[in-house]
A and B are shown apart, each in its own frame.
Chain A
């Protein structure tokens, strides 16, 4: 079974600075999908970014980018120019390509943004 580990329960960053959230995973599959979801206090689960494992190029979405290291099974999220609205829980998630299978989530990292 696949597992996802987020080793940083909490992180903080100064407004306008850059922060990196860590995620590692364990799988025997060669192809899969990785996601970062954001959960603000409103409780919504918002997709931030996704990466297909067969793509070598790291995904980017505006201020959000990932560092995908397939051999190391690492999938970190970098937030540039942090804003107060980025404060939230961030969840790393894995999904197999074998059909539309459920997400396997990490335990999350709580990000605080300091003004």
Chain B
């Protein structure tokens, strides 16, 4: 079975540019999570969806960040305009149903803002 698929794997761009990260969850999973990993803050939740609906976006740093899930098989995380402090590894994870199933992570996108 295919796991969670994220693209791109690496992204390097200049400050001020728009960045779009993509995620395809595991088929049949109804929960999708976006996490960010930095050396300083570790792994922290940005936002999560249930059945394509955002449930909690309190972790989204500021208005420059937005996330969408137009259907059950696709989600995007967009940063506009990007800043150097946004440099991090961004993970998408998905899981199914109530609680028992663990979250499956994608391989992450390493984002570098110059």
A100 touches B43 (CB 8 A): no
B99 touches A102 (CB 8 A): no
B residues contacting the other copy or chain, number (CB 8 A): 25
Which residues of A are found within 8 Å of B104, using beta-carbon distances?
47
Which residues of A are found within 8 Å of B93, using beta-carbon distances?
45, 103
Please count the residue pairs between chain A and chain B whose beta carbons lie under 8 angstroms apart in the complex: 51
Which residues of B are found within 8 Å of A47, using beta-carbon distances?
102-104
Contacting A102 at CB < 8 Å: which of B48, B105, B107? B48
Q: Is B68 an interface residue (CB 8 A)?
A: no
Question: Which applies to chain B's interface (DSSP): helix, strand, loop or mixed?
Answer: strand
A82 to B50, CA, bound (A): 39
A106 to B43, CA, bound (A): 8
Which residues of A are found within 8 Å of B70, using beta-carbon distances?
none
A99 to B35, CA, bound (A): 18
The chain B residue with its CB closest to the CB of A91 is B43
Chain B residues with a Cβ under 8 A of chain A: 31, 33, 35, 42-45, 48, 50, 56, 89, 91, 93, 95, 97-99, 101-105, 107-108, 110
- In order of increasing CB-CB distance, the 8 nearest A-B pairs are A45-B105, A105-B43, A102-B45, A107-B42, A100-B31, A47-B102, A97-B99, A43-B108
Contacts A43-B89, A45-B91, A99-B99 known; list 16 others, CB within 8 Å.
A42-B107, A44-B105, A45-B105, A91-B43, A100-B95, A100-B101, A102-B33, A102-B35, A102-B56, A103-B33, A103-B35, A103-B43, A103-B45, A103-B93, A103-B103, A105-B42
Chain A residues with a Cβ under 8 A of chain B: 33, 35, 37, 42-45, 47, 50, 91, 95, 97, 99-100, 102-103, 105-108
